[in-house]
Structure 1
Amino acid sequence: MDKLNLVAVLVVALFTAIAFGVDLKTGKLPNWLTMPALGLGVLFHSVVNGWGGLQHSLLGAVVGFALLLVLLLIGGGGGGDVKFMAALGAWFGPILVVLVFISSAVLALIITIFLVVGKMMFRARTDKPDASAGGDSAKEKLDIARQTLPYGVPVCLASWIFLLLRLVILLKTPLENG
């Protein structure tokens, strides 16, 4: 069973690595990536754990979908983010996908703060005062703050934290038993 868990960790790590790169480059998470990952997650858990695995995986997908659907409906994120979280839910199950969601929100906040502060500091160092412009306007500062980070990036980072913890547990277990 540990070999199968290792396979799951590696598949999700690959899926999230591709999602990270695609989302960072394009700002979108395409169906060609999210939908097969969702199907594979459900199939994997169904084959490995039978009916209970199917239920666990589907519940995780529904929870992941619902979490991001709420954000989509209030104007945050996109449809690809919703399907991405559903796919992660299919692999992680309902509890872990909620933990990834919460962790990713915290990471998104931290990263956004660093990006905004960094951009403001960089602009302060590189902008030469223009007598006619009168310095940075409030609108320019607001535009800097509105620049967004693709949501898949912090979700991938949060997922990797949990995958790394799972990998440590998987690799530690045989050493303790041997």
Structure 2
Amino acid sequence: MSNFNVPTREEVSENNQAIFDNLEKGVGFVPNIYAAMAHSKNALASYMQFLGAATSLNNKQKEVVNLAVSELNGCKYCQSAHTATGKMNGFTDDQIIELRKGVASWDSKTNVLAQTAQRIAATNGQIGADSLSDFHAAGYTKENLVDLIVAIGIITVTNLLHNVTEVPIDFPIAVEL
């Protein structure tokens, strides 16, 4: 177990304190993974800007990516956090488990998104022409592909941070697959 502490508001920079305050207002608390980023004077602000940037993917599609990639990367924190936010975005418990496995039996377009997200993350982007063809045949655009890659990058940051630091999970723990 890591001894990487979760800093309190008083232990972080003034800029990070303002972000903590905004998270308290918007989310109701400061998730430990974000608080851990505040050990850096700049990382949390940079991450929040990246996270909040405009994208062609809607919130449900971003949750598909978050669940599929977090499972692949073995991040218990993000599996748990995105199980909770996945439910808030309308996914059922069974759908969330499928998405973590990189599939969506109930919807072919969502299935392609989950598979493509896991394939990109698992192969460092070496997915091949067939996967790209399937992605585009499902109705996704080049813009969606670029935004998918960015979304994979965003969730990978928190996956890696938790896997290295093992900060405590402050969401209901996701079931093991």
Aligning the two structures, in what range does the TM-score lie when normalised by the shorter sequence? under 0.3
Q: When the two structures are superposed, what TM-score results if normalisation uses the length of structure 2?
A: 0.27
The structure that has the greater radius of gyration is: 1
Q: When the two structures are superposed, what TM-score results if normalisation uses the length of structure 1?
A: 0.27
Structure of greater relative contact order (alpha carbons < 8 Å, 6+ residues apart): 2
Higher share of residues assigned helix: 1
